[in-house]
Amino acid sequence: MKKKATISIIFLIIIIPVIFATRYFIPKKSIDDIKIIEVSKYSGFGCPVREYVIDFDKNLVTYNYTYLNRTNNDNQFSSGNFSKEDAEYFLEQANSCRFFNWKKSYKTRHGGNDLPYTCIRIIYKNGDIQIIKCDNAYPHNYDQMAEVFYEAFGYNIL
């Protein structure tokens, strides 16, 4: 019995610092790291494809949506500027939510062509590209990040 207790104590002594280190010492991104974030959303058949581009070099967010397989002119486009403070707020909150550490893919077990789908591309200034695909399944803090995007840039991006 003492052997199990000793092993448990040693295990906790090792695991707690590892959890703490992975939670609080993950490298954080700054304005100097991020060049562009692109988000494409498809909500299902008959819905438009929404595309957002957040350019941190130009402090510009653009929004475009198009209907697939339509010939009429239902497409819309808009753009707006954001401040350095908006970008700093976004990055602070994104780091807090570990947004830049989301997995590459979130998928539902039930596939289908008519399910919501979100693709996020993060283009870094060093040339690296990170892609996150949410196929009707999402990270646990997806809604929290959706609020951060809206507060920082004024669009319902996620």
Torsion sign over Cα 68, 115, 90, 150? positive
Sign of CA dihedral 13, 19, 22, 23: negative
> What would the mean pLDDT of 134-143 be, rounded to a whole number?
91
Torsion region of 59: left, alpha or beta (phi above 0 gives left; psi -120 to 50 gives alpha): left
Kindly report the backbone phi and psi dihedral angles of residue 91, in degrees, each rounded to the nearest multiple of 5, phi listed first. Answer: -65, -35
Could you report the per-residue pLDDT of 33-52, keeping only the tens digit for each? 999 999 998 876 666 788 99
Reading the block at residue 60, the tokens are 């510009």
Domain positions in the chain = 34-153
The one-letter code for the residue type at 70 is R
Q: Is the pLDDT of residue 70 over 60?
A: no
CA distances from 147 to 42, 64, 154, 158 (A): 19, 20, 10, 8
pTM value surpassing 0.95: no
pLDDT tens per residue across span 48-68: 788 999 999 999 999 988 766
**pLDDT range class, residue 93, cuts 50, 70, 90:** very high
Residue 78, pLDDT score: 85
According to CATH, the topology of domain 34-153 is: Mago nashi protein (3.30.1560)
